């Protein structure tokens, strides 16, 4: 046990110092050199991340196995890793050169955000682990909007302290996902101050507090946060997604305001509206499949498992 812990500590220290090095290095190099580094990073990642490739392939087969050929699935897998790797290196560069964010990101549907803010009860920006989603959050923060992101802390507390400082310096407010009670209180407080709260609603939520909805024809355990917070505070739900375009530009698409549909019971309201939000997320993934993070077991929790655990 002690040996395993020592190995973990060493791995975390190596990752931390690698981040520090590239954060410093990116201050001094032009964007073109960064693109070359990103290409090398992507090739190495695709070569060595064997477990993540296996999970991504399994997820793609669940979603598209009946619709796409093995070659099409292979192509999506390759492009997915390409976009993910480029996005990670890109964010490090943008953190070193924040003035570039405004030059690389454009917005579509800005009027929907203005209408949502004008309502005065907070904005729940619903999105997914799709495209360079951190860039979308930072872009809004750089424009002066009070943006809150629910964050899972890094396993390395030293690294997390540094990341917290960096996010805060760029205007992004952090709400830690745990402890849950404190997270909920901070989310509600942000909405009542008419701030923007990002919630990514595309990962397995198998703790018994979510609902099962259809996602690519399979039941997926899904969180209810956006619907619960909107019902409690009157906050406006606004789907947002970021798309990579030619020349390493990015386009944020702000969907029209999502109005909650009512139901006879609270459970019906949750089920109906979480399904509708999930349908929007699926629509974007189907249109831009390479933009989503397939290396996540989205369908891991099954309905019968929830029944056994309840």
Mode of pairing for the β-strands spanning 105-108 and 249-254? parallel
Question: What is the mean pLDDT of the segment spanning 148-163?
Answer: 87
From CA 40, how far away is CA 34, in angstroms rounded?
Answer: 10
Closest-CA residue to 92 (of 161, 27, 189):
27
Question: What is the mean pLDDT of the segment spanning 242-262?
Answer: 96
Tens-place pLDDT, residues 172-185 = 999 999 999 999 99
Average pLDDT over the chain, rounded to whole?
Answer: 92
From CA 270, how far away is CA 224, in angstroms rounded?
Answer: 7
Question: pLDDT > 70: what percent of the chain?
Answer: 96
User: Which of 20-29, 72-81, 83-92, 222-231 has the lowest average pLDDT?
Assistant: 20-29
Q: What is the pLDDT of residue 157?
A: 83
Please say if the pLDDT value at position 188 is more than 60: yes
CA distances from 100 to 90, 170, 218, 225, 308 (A): 11, 13, 40, 33, 51
Q: Which conformational region is residue 302 in: left (phi greater than 0), alpha (psi within -120 to 50 degrees), or beta?
A: beta
From CA 298, how far away is CA 202, in angstroms rounded?
Answer: 7
Rg (alpha carbons) of the chain, rounded to whole number? 20
Please say if the pLDDT value at position 159 is more than 90: no
Please say if the pLDDT value at position 308 is more than 80: no
Please say if the pLDDT value at position 163 is more than 60: yes
Q: What angle do CA 17, 21, 22 make, to 5 degrees?
A: 120
Q: What is the pLDDT of residue 47?
A: 86
Tens-place pLDDT, residues 278-290 = 999 999 999 999 9
Domains annotated for the chain, with CATH where assigned, are 2-303 (3.40.1130)
Closest-CA residue to 227 (of 190, 254, 199):
199
CB atoms within 10 A of CB 102: 11
Closest-CA residue to 237 (of 151, 143, 142, 115):
115
CB atoms within 10 A of CB 255: 18
Confidence of residue 10 (pLDDT cuts 50, 70, 90): confident
CA distances from 188 to 193, 228, 271 (A): 9, 10, 21
Question: What is the mean pLDDT of the segment spanning 224-236?
Answer: 97
From CA 11, how far away is CA 8, in angstroms rounded?
Answer: 5
């Amino acid at each position: 046990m002690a040996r395993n812990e020592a190995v973990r500590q060493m791995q975390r220290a190596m990752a931390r110092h690698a981040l520090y090095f590239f954060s410093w290095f990116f201050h001094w190099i032009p964007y073109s050199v960064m693109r070359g580094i990103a290409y090398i990073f992507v090739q190495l990642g695709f070569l060595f991340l064997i477990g993540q490739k296996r999970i991504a392939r399994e997820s793609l087969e669940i979603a598209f196995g009946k619709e796409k050929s093995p070659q099409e699935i292979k192509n999506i897998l390759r492009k997915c890793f390409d976009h993910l790797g480029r996005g990670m290196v890109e964010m490090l560069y943008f953190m070193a050169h924040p003035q570039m964010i405004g030059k690389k990101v454009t917005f579509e549907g800005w009027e929907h955000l203005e209408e949502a803010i004008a309502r005065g009860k907070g904005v729940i920006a619903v999105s997914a682990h799709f495209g360079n989603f951190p860039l979308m959050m930072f872009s809004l923060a750089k424009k002066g909007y009070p943006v809150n992101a629910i964050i899972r802390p890094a396993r390395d507390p030293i690294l997390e302290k540094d990341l917290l400082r960096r996010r805060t310096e760029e205007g992004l407010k952090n709400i830690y996902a745990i402890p849950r009670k404190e997270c909920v209180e901070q989310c509600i407080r942000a909405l009542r101050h008419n701030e923007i709260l990002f919630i990514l609603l595309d990962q397995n939520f198998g703790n018994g507090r979510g609902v099962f909805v259809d996602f690519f024809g399979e039941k997926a355990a899904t969180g209810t946060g956006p619907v619960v917070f909107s019902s409690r505070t009157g906050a406006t739900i606004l789907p947002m997604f970021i798309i990579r375009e030619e020349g390493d530009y990015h386009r944020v698409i702000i969907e029209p305001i999502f109005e909650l549909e009512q139901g006879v019971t609270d459970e019906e309201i949750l089920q109906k509206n979480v399904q509708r939000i999930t349908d929007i997320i699926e629509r974007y993934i189907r249109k831009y499949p390479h933009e989503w993070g397939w290396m996540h077991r989205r369908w891991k929790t099954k309905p019968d498992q929830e029944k056994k655990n309840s």
